[in-house]
């Protein structure tokens, strides 16, 4: 158990819908990262938050947004869903703000868009 | 932004033999290079990492080498065992506000 909690574990929805994925980092970790894992694309970095502030942005679509709350949990919002958004979404946390330390991954949220 | 290329995409070795996975990166400012192992249906977990001020690091059967001039780094697994079967990801970070950039992964298969 990494200490990072993600909900829901599985989610099935239809195209055009909106979903919210939730992540609780390890106790004491200030950084939260979101990654998208598709079969042929590996782990695609979406966005990083550190202590409530956006710190780094990757290949995140405009239809996607995220935030980190004062209690440090984070939510990833995916809207106007398309078939291609079906993937495993990982949240990871670390104690550092820079990317020079171990990331602890949650178990992931598997999104299926029909 | 950073771009990490990883090869091969699939590697099959006999149990007991060695396995080598190679990665190249594009951003010369990157200074942190971790390797993650992801077993089927599980989350990625860090197995070893190396920083730019070190050329080699070893942890039991696993070693990582870094060549900053050529911008490539490699994972070496010796005396492979069935439990080494997994997908391995290399990554690079530290060159800017791009987060940790992962390669596309290598599916390592250990043949009995």
Across the interface, do A56 and B98 touch by the CB < 8 Å criterion?
yes
Across the interface, do B100 and A106 touch by the CB < 8 Å criterion?
no
Reading the block at residue B103, the tokens are: 């390669």
- Stretches where chain B sits below pLDDT 70 are 95-98
- A51 within 8 A of A96, measured Cβ to Cβ: no
Angstrom distance (rounded) from CA B85 to CA A38: 20
Q: What is the pLDDT of residue B98?
A: 64
Buried b (16+ CB within 10 A) or exposed e, B35-67: bbbbeeeebbeebbbbebeeeeeeeeebbbbbe
- A113 within 8 A of A13, measured Cβ to Cβ: yes
- Across chain A, which has 114 residues, the per-10-residue mean pLDDT values are 94 97 95 89 89 89 96 97 96 78 92 97
Q: What is the pLDDT of residue B53?
A: 81
Across the interface, do A100 and B93 touch by the CB < 8 Å criterion?
yes
Q: What is the pLDDT of residue A86?
A: 96
With an 8 Å Cβ cutoff, the interface of chain B facing chain A consists of 1, 6, 31-32, 34, 36, 42-46, 49, 51, 89, 93-94, 97-105
């Amino acid at each position: 158990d990494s200490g990072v909690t993600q909900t829901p574990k599985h989610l099935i929805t239809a195209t055009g819908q909106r979903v919210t994925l939730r992540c609780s980092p390890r106790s004491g970790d200030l950084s939260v990262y979101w990654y998208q894992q598709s079969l042929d694309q590996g782990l695609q970095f979406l966005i990083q938050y550190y202590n409530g502030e956006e710190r780094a942005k990757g290949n995140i679509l405009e239809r996607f947004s995220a935030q980190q709350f004062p209690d440090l949990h984070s939510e990833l919002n995916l809207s106007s869903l398309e078939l291609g958004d079906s993937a495993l979404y990982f949240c990871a946390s670390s104690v550092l703000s820079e990317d020079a330390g171990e990331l602890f991954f949650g178990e992931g949220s598997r999104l299926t868009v029909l | 932004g950073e771009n990490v290329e990883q090869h091969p995409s699939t590697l099959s070795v006999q149990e007991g033999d060695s396995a080598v996975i190679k990665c190249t990166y594009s951003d010369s400012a990157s200074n942190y290079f971790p390797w993650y192992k992801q077993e089927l249906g599980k989350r990625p977990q860090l197995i070893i990492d190396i920083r730019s001020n070190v050329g080699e690091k070893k942890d039991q059967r696993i070693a990582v080498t870094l060549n900053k001039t050529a911008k490539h780094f490699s994972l070496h697994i010796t005396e492979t065992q069935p439990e080494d079967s997994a997908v391995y990801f290399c990554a690079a970070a530290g060159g800017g506000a791009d987060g940790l950039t992962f390669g596309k992964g290598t599916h390592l298969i250990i043949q009995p």
